[in-house]
Structure 1
């Protein structure tokens, strides 16, 4: 086991906060070369350092990596720091690194943990810096790493690792540099606190390595699906699992990370029980014996209105205040009987049952007044997943809880959105926030390796929020993770972009969406083709060259989906370009490829903890949105209204989008993420003004029978501005209405006329169109209709139930006689039925203007006047299929 290194403790942070001081306030000392603390002099040759240092200054001198380097250890240099320095020197070309007590002539000397060695470089030492601060000096013929403490020297070693060159032989010149640096808050790290498949032991060890490299100093072990933390909290761990926790504790110490063991007894604890207090203390003692020094008691996601034993109600009564008093009693007992009796134990941490707001309550008042003041309270912000977090909110949390605040920041956690990877940066956190906190812990994704991209930015912000820029930090993290290879970095950036959006990053695929917008504005298909080609190739590039292979395993289904969606988007782009160029047959051929490509892109899944297959999403709203927009553009160029679309003023719960109202599948549905207010609406857009018939609105579903618009009105409009009432409805989950004959509209909507408390489910919102009646034979097969042959949507297909017979035809009425410039017939590629294309003229006679030829037939009709078009089948032909008959003007 590795001895624990001295560090700034949460207790010190608590004392500073309780005393009104800000731990992250900059030291009064000046930075190197006279620059004020916090200043950063950047030049082109300044190496990239992460997290972003407080002060970096270039020097005019330099040092040379000699074949043998002497490494002199001072008082704040421990074994892990020296190991990092030695490995970095060997990577820089040194053949031998000799650890000695004094320098040797003719060799480069590296002083680790010896502030006095800074005098030769005329640099001020770290004495005025906060805990874990450090000074790194390169120049005057030496390299000096001087930490405020052992962790500070370890962090100086991590910085040195980043600035030294990678060379196969000695002789490399290292530019002179002065770095003066310190953290923005005392505790910075990760809490494995999600629901779902816990991380593997190997992944946790890898994470601890990553935290050390990025100057994060806390890891909280709190996976919700470790039974021995929750359901079986009283029971001892099996020997194998306990040995793994000991491994993690040792690795954490080697990386200057505090391993925090978080036991969650709230599902069954009896707060007044002496046996339960003893069970909790005994469990902590087992962890202490294997090296754990930091402990937490999360009491989140439990009921505090239902006691687990009658004795608690007898002792404290009922209500939030009683629950707060009971929890404070238990935690104080643990604090007194365990933390206080174990020298070297860090301050106890706890997660309150009300962890997600700053409003005053009886529960919070009880905790504030009765809980030991040294206990750290974990808080998620205003909301379980807080889109923003401000200094004022942190101050309010500190005030209402009466204790130092350690944030449990629910980013990039995805247990509530298991179909997504959240690869965007840490965002929406105000500058100055870390200094008001005891620390910041981020709850990561179920996918440990994929979490690193976001955790890189968390580490950057927590260390130096004043210099933090989310997009810049994100780009730096991508570059580092790609291992310095430009092509891999480009591929990783494209993949991360289509997995960017979250509650903290509302822009979906921001870089790709900008390219789509540029295309629709400029028509530059070449540029967009290049972008989509690169996106489609990115998964293969990452699988071949990304250094961290765990990321590939984590991201496999999303990589597959990305490649497939890029293919579909390129097909959609080619379809539009072909249609614009007048290449109708080519455009229709591409249009027919899209359904299968979209189905494949949406087909990728992974297996969750419960064995359920979870479909994955990438670039949703952008990749699929571009395909939809391209399809609509194709339809416009073709001269048809296209598939109806749905929209709503309500938010969407999970993936139950408005489009599901129109998919013809009663088992799928739109589901709002909140209750509607008066004026909220659900709207169907037919694409152009159409003659409308029966309207059917089917709401609610099994298990959610109250989720429907309880009071509303059906309305229609031609322009989306002026609306006509069709029918009122009240307390009816299924609504039907028939407009007056001849009614034309482009839009039909259901509008709430009163607020309600229940959400809204819509299984189907059907608007029948009656213009252009289709009649004839052969009859349609089951699941198809004659109407599909001329419904304005090429995606629907009339499929005949049998082969054609003599004299049969398919007729499309035009409502009234008009000039016909052309007739285009679209058929599935495999359809081979033969027919003549005919127009019915004013005297009622039929005139043949052409014949069907292949999947795409366009006939110029020379401006004839007609009131109907028909396909006169030739007897004995195969069962016909028609996607759309388009009558051009």
Structure 2
């Protein structure tokens, strides 16, 4: 067994607070900083300047200064250790010290730094750390010296991390450092990370890197619990191969060096027989091998298992059935481990466990049995109210403490993304009430599958869990980005832009708040130059990060999202240029740009990464902001073109990944809207035709080959003119494909499918087609497979009529206008490069056709002179190629 640095007592202290025992973050009154002028606002001011993170409890500026001399003497005191001395020495060298000499007394000349020496604070007239909680510290700069004094060795280590941030980076001696007094302590005993997600476990290298990061940010616990490590779950009884056990030893050693408690979490619940002596022995033996590797903290998660099905008949015979039986059986197993292993190993920290009911605070027979029978010194992990809790309050924590009857360590499922694998969750830790840490044994955050990309969010977790009183999510997030960018302003700007379009999560409901604000500003002000600059910066951000971000692991983690961001920025710039060209009257240019957008959006949606099972996982960036801006730009172009009645789709159900409602109107049966949950009675899927129109045939195509049961099993098709009063067309039951024909003369703007009963399956809608009589297209040539005549005048330039063959002599394509009225102009939009000649004609009230112009390139607009007409047609010229028409747009008088 490798000798280990002295360990903090935070785990033991947390577990001892049992009977009435909610933790408190406040130190005794006598421990308050006695230096005049200290206020809580001082700490917040330091946070805003980015000087110290996490935010200290108390910071006071002193009138004196010290100078970094060429030679600095380092004096080690009672609460120093080698890791603390190494951090201080490194910081001094970066600040300009050329020689750092370790000694047992101050140097005869030059600066002296006292590490772990409370008595040295007397010269600075500062109180020592004796009245502070565990891991608290005092840092004094002034009176010709620097003093770091921790309540314990971890406190001194944290003082060293604060000093690292305070000292300048000059590279040569002579730098003057302003005097300062910091008095600081943590808001809760345990602060850290639980690697507890499903999916590709972190690499060994990434875990070692994480411990460095935790130490720098005053996080003191890491729980090793990746769901897809077979030796933790499916093969929990089996010993690790020698090479993997050696890695665990290396991790435990690195964690100890960074004052992080490495916690090993073994999950036997899939197959354990709770009453089996052999299984208890297997569990204890497994822990012993991990103990021999240097680990001192252990957990037994019993989450994500069934407690209604026993793994052996003996358990049913011993405890019976039901939640209370499961709670009793789990308590029995844990108590044996606690007494036969933890209690017999001096230096072992309190056992941790995750209950099967980990996601609520409702009283239950299971919780009652666990509360009453589980040894009182076991810590219970809890995710809040919900597996991914959007908010967490003091009242909830108090109720959890009551219902479980044990100290509560939160397993906070943020920024974990195993449930939304298409996303990076780079927004801040939010929705957690001030005062919550003081009610907990600690906070552990479950991070993303991507370890390096998790650091931005984990910075804010560290900030909150250390000092929730001063915590501001947005401020902490911006500071974390600045720190992670390595001090380079251009890299910081790029990282902020990239993080902004990867901001949304269950905690942060708003996606891309910075970019969304810029888009809103553009639509209000028309300032295209400003938005162009913003989008150019967003498009340049991925290359800037690849070139300059210090943490190269982030680049590997975020690669597909970086590529997608660049592509989305390109598409958004094209959309902006299209709008500006259309507003400037450059109609052909605007149409050319419009045609570039589908391919650019498809490219932006094309990026993937490989999941643990080898599947390709699509990535999502800026969803609901970038895509909607492009939709809004298309709508603005439609307005300028004179297009009205472009259908849109919506649903009361959420969306799974990028399978948005718009996909059920794209004319492509292979794409679909896919909900992210099962519908309840009353849930609706709606098509808005944009204006009231004469409707005819309606087709609702649901389900898909790989999810044949994902459709509305019980429902009705309804229509409405105003969206308030609805008429039923037909009811349907038990069939994924639904059709209906509206009676002649039926007018509607809205058509919807409404669920009349709940179900367990999600919903897929491949196509929701509502045929209209106004704008009806007849004639020929017939449409090719995958296209339709109606696409030539459906109010959507993105859908294209493609003829199956060249036109025959006299063949024409006719578009009904509806009721006869004056026509100001006719615009024919064709794909760039589409061949074919033809005349544009109007049918007057006398039934005669009049030629008003000829097709000319991709964009043709001809004046109709306000002639009254009820139809327009394209008469194809002899020898024309197979026609292609994106839209025929007929505009009347204003």
Category of TM-score, reference length = shorter chain: over 0.9
Give the structure 2 partner of residue 279 of structure 1.
282
CA offset digits 1:606-643 (Å, max 9, x no partner): 00010000000000111011111111221122122364
Q: CA deviation at 1:786?
A: 2.2
For 1:706 and 1:876, how far apart are their aligned partners in 2?
49
The reply to whether residue 629 of structure 1 matches residue 617 of structure 2 is: no
Change (3 A) 1:296 1:35: farther
Any residues of structure 2 matched to 1:106-125 within 5 Å, and which?
A: 106-125=109-128
Q: 2:585 aligns with which of 582, 585, 607?
A: 582
For 1:761 and 1:232, how far apart are their aligned partners in 2?
37
Change (3 A) 1:634 1:669: same
For 2:114 and 2:608, how far apart are their aligned partners in 1?
53
Contact kept? 1:133, 1:152, Cα under 8 Å: yes
Change (3 A) 1:689 1:42: closer
Any residues of structure 2 matched to 1:493-504 within 5 Å, and which?
A: 493-504=496-507
Give the structure 2 partner of residue 269 of structure 1.
272
Aligned-pair RMSD on alpha carbons? 1.9
Q: 1:155 aligns with which of 150, 155, 158?
A: 158
**SS of the counterpart of 1:393?**
helix
CA offset digits 1:711-756 (Å, max 9, x no partner): 4432222232333333344555443221111222211112344555
Change (3 A) 1:359 1:536: same
Give the structure 2 partner of residue 12 of structure 1.
13
Q: 2:175 aligns with which of 150, 158, 172?
A: 172
Give the structure 2 partner of residue 358 of structure 1.
361
Change (3 A) 1:603 1:124: same
Contact kept? 2:384, 2:412, Cα under 8 Å: yes
Give the structure 1 partner of residue 221 of structure 2.
218
Q: Mean alpha-carbon deviation: is it higher for 306-315 or for 423-432?
A: 306-315
For 1:639 and 1:877, how far apart are their aligned partners in 2?
28
Any residues of structure 2 matched to 1:745-784 within 5 Å, and which?
A: 745-754=748-757, 759-784=762-787
Any residues of structure 2 matched to 1:290-369 within 5 Å, and which?
A: 290-369=293-372
**SS of the counterpart of 1:168?**
coil
Contact kept? 2:44, 2:55, Cα under 8 Å: no
Tell me, which stretches of 5 or more residues in structure 2 are unaligned?
Answer: none
The reply to whether residue 243 of structure 1 matches residue 251 of structure 2 is: no
Contact kept? 2:199, 2:612, Cα under 8 Å: yes
Q: CA deviation at 1:239?
A: 0.7
Tell me, which stretches of 5 or more residues in structure 1 are unaligned?
Answer: none
Give the structure 2 partner of residue 469 of structure 1.
472
For 2:798 and 2:406, how far apart are their aligned partners in 1?
61
CA offset digits 1:280-326 (Å, max 9, x no partner): 11111111111100001111111111111111111111111111111
Give the structure 2 partner of residue 67 of structure 1.
70
For 2:49 and 2:666, how far apart are their aligned partners in 1?
56
Q: CA deviation at 1:839?
A: 2.1
Contact kept? 2:43, 2:55, Cα under 8 Å: no
**SS of the counterpart of 1:693?**
strand
Give the structure 1 partner of residue 32 of structure 2.
30
Change (3 A) 1:483 1:745: same
Contact kept? 1:26, 1:38, Cα under 8 Å: no
Contact kept? 2:33, 2:183, Cα under 8 Å: yes
CA offset digits 1:785-826 (Å, max 9, x no partner): 222212221111121222334323222232333211111111
Q: CA deviation at 1:562?
A: 0.4
Contact kept? 1:17, 1:438, Cα under 8 Å: no
**SS of the counterpart of 1:34?**
coil
Q: 1:691 aligns with which of 678, 690, 694?
A: 694
The reply to whether residue 529 of structure 1 matches residue 532 of structure 2 is: yes
For 2:872 and 2:668, how far apart are their aligned partners in 1?
32
- Output the TM-score relative to the length of structure 2: 0.97
Q: 1:613 aligns with which of 596, 603, 616?
A: 616
Contact kept? 1:316, 1:322, Cα under 8 Å: yes
Contact kept? 2:828, 2:888, Cα under 8 Å: yes
CA offset digits 1:342-368 (Å, max 9, x no partner): 111000001111111101111111110
CA offset digits 1:479-516 (Å, max 9, x no partner): 00000111111110010000000000000111111111
For 2:264 and 2:734, how far apart are their aligned partners in 1?
52
Contact kept? 2:300, 2:352, Cα under 8 Å: yes
**SS of the counterpart of 1:338?**
helix
CA offset digits 1:125-180 (Å, max 9, x no partner): 00000000000000000000000000000000000000000012100000100000
**SS of the counterpart of 2:860?**
strand
Q: CA deviation at 1:452?
A: 0.2
Give the structure 2 partner of residue 135 of structure 1.
138
For 1:805 and 1:671, how far apart are their aligned partners in 2?
42
Q: CA deviation at 1:445?
A: 0.3
For 1:255 and 1:94, how far apart are their aligned partners in 2?
24
For 1:339 and 1:527, how far apart are their aligned partners in 2?
62
Give the structure 2 partner of residue 518 of structure 1.
521
Change (3 A) 1:202 1:667: same
Contact kept? 1:41, 1:58, Cα under 8 Å: no
Q: Mean alpha-carbon deviation: is it higher for 766-775 or for 106-115?
A: 766-775
Q: 2:232 aligns with which of 199, 218, 229?
A: 229
Contact kept? 1:138, 1:178, Cα under 8 Å: yes
Contact kept? 2:77, 2:116, Cα under 8 Å: yes
The reply to whether residue 401 of structure 1 matches residue 427 of structure 2 is: no
Q: Mean alpha-carbon deviation: is it higher for 682-691 or for 42-51?
A: 42-51
For 1:705 and 1:590, how far apart are their aligned partners in 2?
39
For 2:718 and 2:311, how far apart are their aligned partners in 1?
53
**SS of the counterpart of 1:40?**
helix
Give the structure 2 partner of residue 488 of structure 1.
491
**SS of the counterpart of 1:136?**
strand
Q: CA deviation at 1:217?
A: 0.3
Give the structure 1 partner of residue 448 of structure 2.
445
CA offset digits 1:227-270 (Å, max 9, x no partner): 11111111111111011111101100100000101111111111
For 2:737 and 2:855, how far apart are their aligned partners in 1?
43
**SS of the counterpart of 1:297?**
strand
**SS of the counterpart of 1:197?**
coil
For 2:372 and 2:724, how far apart are their aligned partners in 1?
57
